[in-house]
Amino acid sequence: MPARPLNRICYVEDDEDIQRIVRMSLERVGKMTVAVVGDPTQAIAMITEFNPDLVMLDWMMPVMDGPTLFRQLKLRPETSALPVVFITARASQPDLDELKTLGAAGTISKPFSPKDLPDQLRAIWAALP
């Protein structure tokens, strides 16, 4: 478990409504600092700038999907150590297993409960080495 509490979250999601709900959930319920990115191609720049504790990725996005972005993050030295959590409405078990082996910190399935989302993230954070 990391020494500091989970505070800074960067969320990459193309759906603006869900962006808003997640932001409110994490800020209001979880009292965390949130940065949201709508365009996955801008994500790496934003993540580098924002320097989050944890990155949340949507699975299905136009132009670049979550797993692709995830692999790119893993390739870059400045982002490779960041814990990444997937939020997904669909993903077969083999897909999830593959991501686990690639180093995803966890997955949260859609629809999630905004009341519980901060606790779910903290549980994943607590399970990290």
Partner 1 sequence: MNHSTTANGTNTGLEVSTHAVEAEIRDRADPQQVLADRVAQLYRQMPIAIAATFIAGLIATFELQGRWLKELVLIWWGLVVAYSVAASLLLYAYHRSADKVTTAPEWLRWLGIAALGNGASWGLAGGVFFRSLSDEQQVFLAFLFAGMASVGIPVYAASWPIFALYAAGILGPFFYVLLTFGNRLFVEIALLVPLFYVINVAIAYRLTHVFHSGYRLRHAYGKLAQDHRLLNQRLERQLVELKEARRQVEASGRKLALFAERAPIAVLELQPDGTVAEVNHAAEILFGYAAAELVGGPVKKLVLAEFHDEFEHIWQQLLSSRESIAGLKIRNPRRDGIELTCEWTVTPLVNFQKDVIAVIAQGRDVTAQLEAERMKKEFTSTLSHELRTPLTSIIGSLQLINSGVMGDVDKEVGELTMVAERNGQRLLDLINDILDIEKIESGKVTLAPEVMRVDELVRESLVLNKAFGERFKVSFQSQGDIPQRQVHADRKRLLQVMTNLLSNAAKFSPEGGIVEISTEDAGPNVRIAVHDRGSGIPEAFRSRIFGRFTQADSTATRQKGGSGLGLAICKRLVELMRGRIGFDDRPGGGTTFWFELPRRTA
Q: Write down the least CB distance from residue 21 to partner 1, Å.
A: 4
Nearest of 24, 22, 25, 27 to residue 12 by alpha carbon: 22
Residue list 105-124, contact with partner 1 (CB under 8 A): 110-115
Q: What are phi and psi of 64, to 5 degrees?
A: -140, 125
**Which residue in the block uniquely carries the two structure tokens 């990290």?**
128
Residue list 35-54, contact with partner 1 (CB under 8 A): none
Q: Write down the least CB distance from residue 32 to partner 1, Å.
A: 13
Number of residues lying near partner 1 (CB under 8 A): 19
Q: CB neighbours (10 Å) of residue 27?
A: 14
Binding site for partner 1 (CB under 8 A): 15, 17-18, 21-22, 24-25, 28-29, 60, 89-90, 93, 110-115
